[in-house]
Amino acid sequence: MPSPPASSLTPERLDRLFAALADGNRRAMVDQLARGPVSVSDLARPLDIALPSALKHLAVLEAGGLVESDKTGRVRTYRIAPGAFNGLEDWVAQRKAQWHRQFDALDALLAEQDSQP
């Protein structure tokens, strides 16, 4: 399932995205998938987790819109979903812009106070 565009980042989707990234095993899977598509067994092996556990983690990543998969024969392969991080990047950029506006206002206030006798 493709990731929705960043403009459709709802609070629920943001919650699923952050929940998906909240676990170290899932972040390790994302790191591994960033290098290219990987089978479930190849994702589980370096984490030393059982396949059912790996599948549960992957289901959370998929619900968060971070990964997608396909199945060929008996092998399920996962990859990073196109645009998986767009909504997160936009969310962070909005907060950074807000912080910069607040710091700019503080700088202006301090400059005004410094210029007064």
For 19-41, give the DSSP string.
HHHTSHHHHHHHHHHTTS-EEHH
Which residue type sits at 50?
A: A
Q: Give domain status of residue 102, yes or no.
A: yes
Rounded Cα distance, 79 and 61, in Å: 11
The answer on 68 and 31 residing in a single domain is: yes
Helices 40-47, 24-33: crossing angle, 10 deg rounding = 130
The answer on 27 and 58 residing in a single domain is: yes
Residues 6+ apart with CB under 8 A from 13: 4, 64, 65, 87
The answer on 38 and 70 residing in a single domain is: yes
Segment 3-36, tens digit of pLDDT = 444 456 788 989 999 999 999 999 999 999 999 9
Segment 43-101, tens digit of pLDDT = 999 999 999 999 999 999 999 999 999 999 999 999 999 988 888 888 888 899 999 99
Does the pTM of the predicted model rise above 0.85? no
Q: Give domain status of residue 45, yes or no.
A: yes
Q: Give domain status of residue 100, yes or no.
A: yes
